[in-house]
């Protein structure tokens, strides 16, 4: 599983971090998403899918 983020789309809502804190973080100033792990292990799959679905800006793409 590979995770791709689009910083330009991100609105800093932090929903991704609440869903999968091992994979996503945020910059403090503007809240833009920081990808901690672009290749998360499979057991985080459900969390990452959830993060992608919850992101209001659709800034997260999950490639399987």
Residue numbers at the binding site for ligand SF4 (CB under 6 A): 5, 10-16, 24, 26, 33, 55-57, 59-60
DSSP H helical ranges for the chain:
15-19, 45-54
User: Residue 59 Cβ, how far from another protein at the closest point, in Å?
Assistant: 11
Q: Is 13 near another protein (CB under 8 A)? A: yes
CA distances from 12 to 24, 42, 64 (A): 11, 25, 25
Query: Whole-angstrom Cα distance, residue 54 to residue 35?
Result: 16
Nearest to another protein of 21, 38 (CB atom): 21
Q: Is 6 among the residues that bind another protein (CB under 8 A)?
A: no
């Amino acid at each position: 599983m590979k995770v791709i983020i689009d910083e330009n789309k991100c609105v800093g809502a932090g929903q991704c971090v609440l869903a999968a804190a091992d994979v996503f973080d945020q910059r403090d100033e503007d809240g833009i998403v920081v990808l901690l792990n672009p290749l998360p292990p499979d057991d985080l799959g459900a969390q990452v899918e959830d993060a992608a679905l919850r992101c209001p800006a659709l800034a997260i793409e999950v490639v399987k």
